[in-house]
Every structure is written in structure tokens, then in C-alpha cells.
Structure 1
Amino acid sequence: MNEALIQTITAVVVSIAFCLLYFAGSNLLLDKLVDASSGSKNRKEGIKSGIRPWLFLAPAMLLLGVYLFYPLFETFRLSFFDATGETFVGLSNYTWVFTDQNFLITIRNNFMWLLVVPATATAFGLIVAVLADRVWWGHFAKSMVFMPMAISFVGASVIWKFVFDFKGPDSEQIGLLNAMVMGLGRKPQAWVTIPFWNNFFLMAILVWIQTGFAMVILSAALRGVPQDTIEAARIDGASELQIFFEIMVPQVMSTILVVWTTITITVLKVFDVVMAMTGGQWDTSVLANLMYDWMFRGGGDYGRSSTLAMVLMFAVVPVMAFNIRRFRTEEAQR
């Protein structure tokens, strides 16, 4: 324990010292090089002002290049090669993707996740944000709803494994859901093995986690709705439902879209929940799981796993582009 703590402190100190030395040294070198060149003082100051920001950006850009852009380019290149990554096969991997039965099931599952999770988590978050402000224990309720956000996806999956647990038809059940079912006089079920419906049981885990995120963001947005408008609507005889749908929701629609697109990106990249709960069995696999299977199970296939990674990236990019475009539009309107 002490050794690990010493290593951690040493790493932090070395990292900070390196950053300070880099920025101090690079700025000193810039000053010397520019001052040694010919030109007026104003011109030299202009050169320094133009270069200095890039000195601060250089480490981040280097890391992005090494750990983001190069892997992206290499993944794209490998998607045109065979399993070993040595023989060029053209578009055959992309042809395989859209004809493989497992991939079609995976796409169906991803589509269902995209339809259900972002909309449900956003709706629940909005409802909780509105109702929690109307009761005295609202802060406690918000804390409880937000708490799952502090749990990792794997940790949440372990918790929900106990909820869906099934010990066999003749065994004593410890799963909460089976206990409720047996209390109603029904037989217990192995819920995560039921084809098609098991996807919705897995989705419930991510909804449980992301509702807290949606609630926090939307709660902050709702505080920006003018109270004078709400009071005027009440005086005019508007019901609470009318106030909610015709005043509150339109006022925070831009925030709702941001929350929805953020959760959508999370859903497209979902991996942990499915891996921890079912391992992709019983027709529950999603794109990230299928990519993992082709890369790290059965010997590894560089070509097909890279192709699946590119499909996943192509699915995420439009959502991110929509989010960025909307953000720029809002910034231009301010």
C-alpha cells in the first residue's frame, strides 16, 4: 500500500515538473529565437503571440495524434485486409458485415437500444427533475436517483445480476424479480436468456444509470424557465399538465436534445453491460461486443474486427455532428 502510494505521488510530482519545465523551456527558447531574428519589436511580439498558443496545444495534439488519429487510420486500413492484416481483400469485409446473420441481429439490438434507452432515460430524468422540486424531500430524491451514476457499468451489471438471478425451477430463488413473480403465483424465469425480451432487461440497467445524468442537466435547465410565465399560465387557468407540455418542455427543448444525443452516443458504445450480464449470448450482442468477439476471441481477426469498429464509428459520427451543429447554432443566436 505504501509502495503504491509512493509511486503515485512520484508520478504526479514528475508529471507536474515535466509540464513546468516544458512550458518554461519552450517559452524561453521561443523568446531567444525570435529576439535573435531581425525585425521590429512589434513584429517580434506578433510572432511570439502567434506561436505561443501552439506551444500549449502541442502536447495535447501529439497525444491525440498518437492515441486517436493514428489508431483511426490504422483501423480503417486494416478493414480492407484479411484476418492476419497482411492480404488486401478490398470491400469483402464490408460485404460480409451486411450479410452476416449475427451482425444483422446485432444491428437490430443496437437499433432497439437507440430507440428505448435515450428516450426513456431522458423522459424519466425530466419527470424526476420536475416532480422533485415540488416536495420538501426533493434533494434527497435527486441524490438517490443520481447515485447510480457513481457506479461503473460493470458494478451496476453485478447489482442487476442479483435482480434477475435464476437458480433453477426447483431451487430457492434469491433474485428480486423472481421473488416478485413468485409472490404473484407465477413460475420463476431465467430472464436474461429469453430471446428478444432479454434485451429490454439489459436496457433497464443503462436507463437506471443514465436517468440521474438526465435529471441533473434538465433540473438545471428548468430553473431557467421564467416563474412569471408559469404563474401567468396558472392565473389564466392552465392545468399543470398544460404548463409542463406547453411551457416547460419548449423552454428546455434544446437541453433535452443535448441530453438525448449524449445518451445516444453512450448507447452506441455500450459494451460493459452486455459483456457482464450475458457475454453477448442469447441474441443480446451489440456492435461493441461483436467487435470484441472477432478481435479477442477465436484467435483474432484484424480485418473483420476493424470493419466492425469502422461501422461503430460511422454510427457515432452523425450524432456527434448533429450535437456540434446545434451547439454552434445556439452560440450564433446568443
Structure 2
Amino acid sequence: MQQLLMAVVTMVAGVLACAAYFYGTNLILDLIFPSKGRSGANASRNLRISNAIRPWLFLFPALFAMTIYLIYPVIESVWLSFHDRAGQNFVGGANYVWMINDGEFRQSIFNNFLWLLVVPALATFFGLIIAALTDRIWWGNIAKTLIFMPMAISFVGASVIWKFIYDYRAAGTEQIGLLNAIVTSLGFEPQAWVTIPLWNNFFLMAILVWIQTGFAMVILSAALRGIPEETVEAAVIDGANGFQIFFKIMIPQIWGTIAVVWTTITILVLKVFDIVLAMTNGQWQTQVLANLMFDWMFRGGGDFGRGAAIAVVIMLLVVPIMIWNIRNAAKEMKGH
């Protein structure tokens, strides 16, 4: 109850602080550059200056937070990546040389590559198929709600749910894991699914696909509804069947949206951390870059240099895709 009360107090205080900031800064600006009661030239000059400053007053909190929580950490991470374990002595590119020669880092790169191949493709594909099918049935909105629900669950919460699906008990004992319960009911031996090398990566990927399919479905459903009815009607008149309409008429018209969804999920996959940490903690050859960075940065005494170097690699992988995604989204907005 105390935590709930503190949360409510914090939210109320935050809203009041924001209102006080915007009201106070605008009041001060109007006092410094008054436009009322002034002559025509002075009033016009002050109004022009205040109008130029006012947007920055609204942007300042966001810019300040971005500087503290994004720009500064990036600069600090790059700086630390060229220093030793304690982040004090300059070691040049030694941390990057270590990464190239480290087997666990190479395993993490390989696993991240697998995630990149599978998760965006499956989540986008399932989201597209579900979006197309649910628009054709009367209970489509109910189905969309159920499929979108995993988006409301944190990655750790989703991992806990899927732990019960993959749970393993020794052969001959009652299986509480859904998958092993099905396997044993069919007469096969139960398996410790998350410990099977290579395949365990796909079992972890299933969690993120389950979560992100709802996101892809919502965005692609909106795009499909934006397709002009005349185009589809013309295709029907020309004798096109359902598959031809879907793959040759609909998909080409929403290809830009598909690309945005794909790249958005790709960025998320490059930063995947919570699922691996909660399910395997990188054991049994499931290590990924973000979890490896966490291990080096905060565990075993911490190695700020190596942890920061891995963080820089993740950033370099994410930034080009993010820039392309933003530009593509901007082009889509201009098109509409």
C-alpha cells in the first residue's frame, strides 16, 4: 500500500511540476519581452523574440533528459571502451581486439544474427496474415485484442509465463510444463528444452515472436485498411483470386509499412536482453550481445572497458537501421 501511495504521489507531483514549469517559464518570458502596452515597433519585436524562444521552453525538458540519459551515456561509453577495467587507464583498441578473439563474443554475434533472421520475419509474417484474416471475420476485433495482449506484458513477465511452458521434470514424474506434458502424453521422453544447444535459441525467440506479433498486426491492419477499395474491386473484376489480390495488390501497396515494422522489430532484437537473462542467463550457448555486455559491466567485479566496448558495438549495429527506419517512416508520412 505504501508503494502504491508513493507511486500516486510521484505521478501527481510530476504533473504539477510540469504545469508549474510551463506556466512559470512562459510568465517570465512575457515579463522579459512584454508585448502588451508597448509601442508598435517594440511590441512587434518582443512578440517576434518571444515566439522564437517559446518552443524551446517546451522542448527543453525533453532535450535535457535526452542529453542526460542518451547523449552523455553514449559519449561516456565510447570513452570507457578505450580504457581499462576500472575505466582509468587508456588502453587504446585492446578491448576491441579482445572482442574479436573472444569465443563468447563470437557466439553472441552468431546468436544475435539468428534472432535477426527469425524474429522480425516471423513476427511480421504472422502479424500480416492475422491482420488480413481478422478483417474478414465478425469477431476480428476480439481476436486482435487477444493477440495484442502480450504487448502489455513485460519481457520478464512473458519469460516467466514461458518458463512454465518449457518447464522440465525428470522422466517418470508429473510434468507441469505444458510442452513436456504434451510430449509425455504422446509417449515420448520429456526434454529440458532450454538446455538443448542451438534449438534453445529458437525456443527463446518464440517468446519475442509471441509478443511482437501483436505490434505488427496492429500497424499492418491499419495499413491494409488504407488500401483504396477501388483497387481491390478492379482486381476482382479482372478475375484475380484471393491469393493474387493479397500478394500482388495489397502487399505492394503497404510494402513501406512492412519495412518499417520489420526494421522496428530488428532494432528491438539487436537489444534483446530481458528474455535471455530471465530464461537462461546466457547459458547453454544462448548468450546475446546485450546480456554479455551486462555480464562484463556489472558482474564478476565489473570490467567497464570491455562492457562499454560491447555496448558500442550494439550501438553501431542499431543506429544505421534506426536512421533508415526514421527516413522511411518520414517518406511514408509525406506520401499520406
TM-score bucket of the superposed structures, by smaller chain: over 0.9
State the 1:35 CA deviation.
Answer: 4.2
Alpha-carbon distance between aligned partners in 2 of 1:328 and 1:146, rounded to the nearest angstrom:
25
Alpha-carbon distance between aligned partners in 1 of 2:22 and 2:131, rounded to the nearest angstrom:
44
Instruction: Name the residue aligned to 2:297.
Output: 295
Alpha-carbon distance between aligned partners in 2 of 1:138 and 1:333, rounded to the nearest angstrom:
28
Alpha-carbon distance between aligned partners in 2 of 1:307 and 1:91, rounded to the nearest angstrom:
9
Deviations 1:225-251 (A, max 9, x none): 122222221222211111110011111
Instruction: Name the residue aligned to 1:212.
Output: 214
TM-score, normalized by length of structure 1? 0.94
Instruction: Name the residue aligned to 1:56.
Output: 58
- Name stretches of at least 5 consecutive residues in structure 2 with no aligned partner: none
Instruction: Name the residue aligned to 2:9.
Output: 10
CA distance 1:330–1:104, shift in 2 (3 Å): same
Which piece of structure 1 moves more, 247-256 or 6-15?
Answer: 6-15
SS of residue paired to 1:81: coil
SS of residue paired to 1:40: helix
Alpha-carbon distance between aligned partners in 1 of 2:236 and 2:335, rounded to the nearest angstrom:
30
Alpha-carbon distance between aligned partners in 1 of 2:234 and 2:260, rounded to the nearest angstrom:
28
CA distance 1:12–1:191, shift in 2 (3 Å): closer
- State the identity as a percent: 60
State the 1:99 CA deviation.
Answer: 1.4
Counterpart residue identity of residue 318, structure 1? P
Preserved contact between residue 166 and residue 193 of structure 2 (Cα < 8 Å):
yes
Instruction: Name the residue aligned to 2:175.
Output: 173
CA distance 1:58–1:331, shift in 2 (3 Å): same
CA distance 1:290–1:4, shift in 2 (3 Å): closer
Q: CA RMSD in A?
A: 1.9
State the 1:131 CA deviation.
Answer: 1.0
Alpha-carbon distance between aligned partners in 2 of 1:59 and 1:307, rounded to the nearest angstrom:
30
Instruction: Name the residue aligned to 1:109.
Output: 111
Instruction: Name the residue aligned to 2:18.
Output: 19
Deviations 1:279-319 (A, max 9, x none): 11000011110001111211100000001111111111011
CA distance 1:276–1:12, shift in 2 (3 Å): closer
Counterpart residue identity of residue 214, structure 1? A
Alpha-carbon distance between aligned partners in 1 of 2:201 and 2:245, rounded to the nearest angstrom:
35
Which residues in structure 2 correspond to 1:164-313 (within 5 Å)?
164-313=166-315
CA distance 1:11–1:181, shift in 2 (3 Å): closer
Counterpart residue identity of residue 19, structure 1? C
Deviations 1:71-116 (A, max 9, x none): 1111110000011111110011111111110000000000000010
State the 1:332 CA deviation.
Answer: 4.3
Counterpart residue identity of residue 27, structure 1? N
Alpha-carbon distance between aligned partners in 1 of 2:204 and 2:168, rounded to the nearest angstrom:
15
Alpha-carbon distance between aligned partners in 2 of 1:5 and 1:171, rounded to the nearest angstrom:
41
Match of 2:43 among 38, 41, 44: 41
Alpha-carbon distance between aligned partners in 2 of 1:201 and 1:154, rounded to the nearest angstrom:
15
Counterpart residue identity of residue 33, structure 1? I
State the 1:6 CA deviation.
Answer: 4.2
Alpha-carbon distance between aligned partners in 1 of 2:167 and 2:45, rounded to the nearest angstrom:
72
Instruction: Name the residue aligned to 2:73.
Output: 71
Deviations 1:230-283 (A, max 9, x none): 222122221111111001111111111111111111111111111111111000
Whether 1:97 and 2:96 are equivalent positions in the alignment is no
Preserved contact between residue 34 and residue 47 of structure 2 (Cα < 8 Å):
no
CA distance 1:295–1:183, shift in 2 (3 Å): same
Alpha-carbon distance between aligned partners in 2 of 1:160 and 1:217, rounded to the nearest angstrom:
25
Which piece of structure 1 moves more, 193-202 or 222-231?
Answer: 222-231
Counterpart residue identity of residue 282, structure 1? W
Alpha-carbon distance between aligned partners in 1 of 2:317 and 2:203, rounded to the nearest angstrom:
24
Alpha-carbon distance between aligned partners in 2 of 1:181 and 1:7, rounded to the nearest angstrom:
47
Counterpart residue identity of residue 137, structure 2? V
Q: How many residues align?
A: 333
Counterpart residue identity of residue 225, structure 2? R
Which residues in structure 2 correspond to 1:129-140 (within 5 Å)?
129-140=131-142
Alpha-carbon distance between aligned partners in 2 of 1:106 and 1:10, rounded to the nearest angstrom:
42
